[in-house]
Amino acid sequence: MSVFKIAPATAAGCTTVLKPSENTPLTALKLAELAMEAGFPPGVLNVVPGYGKRAGDALIRHELVDKITFTGSTAVGKYIQANCHEKRLKRVTLELGGKSPFIVCNDADLDSSAFMTNFFVMLNSGQVCFSPSRTFV
């Protein structure tokens, strides 16, 4: 998920400070290591592990941070929205609440829709059991 935010910023010539979830910091640190190995200049991708209240607050309130993007709970998103403009106006993108919205139309095959919903929700979690008898159209 981090790459969806890092790639456009990097392509636009911006640096990125990534504060991963305190529960899963190792993947972000590995991503930064791989970026360095791939030739990213120092300082282009920065990872700041830590607890949200402390590390996150420092980022949302820092005057040199131009944009905040956050994916997670609605409660934390509301907090960020309320506090990130303290020193100067910042652009904010929030992806909050819910998990994997899925629209099923009236004429859909419900069995296929249920299977595909489960498949795509779990696609990157390592939990997908693919059945060769299922085909996707």
CB proximity list for 83: less than 8 A, separation 6 or greater: 57, 60, 61
What pLDDT is recorded for position 126? 56
Q: Could you give the residue numbers annotated as active site?
A: 95, 129
Examine the domain organization and report whether 52 and 82 are in the same domain.
yes
Strand-pair partners of 72 = 96
Is residue 65 within 8 Å of residue 54, measured between CB atoms?
A: no
What is the full per-residue pLDDT of the chain (137 aa) written as tens digits? 788 889 999 999 999 999 998 888 899 999 999 999 999 999 999 999 988 888 888 888 888 888 998 888 888 889 999 988 877 788 998 888 766 777 889 999 999 988 888 887 777 665 545 554 554 44
Examine the domain organization and report whether 109 and 136 are in the same domain.
yes
Examine the domain organization and report whether 11 and 43 are in the same domain.
yes
Examine the domain organization and report whether 82 and 17 are in the same domain.
yes
Assessment of whether the complete model's pTM goes beyond 0.75: no
| Angstrom distances, CA of residue 97 to CA of 10, 41, 72, 75 | 27, 35, 6, 9
CATH code, 10: 3.40.605.10
What pLDDT is recorded for position 121? 77
Alpha-carbon distance 82 to 55, whole Å?
Answer: 17
Domain of residue 11 covers 2-96
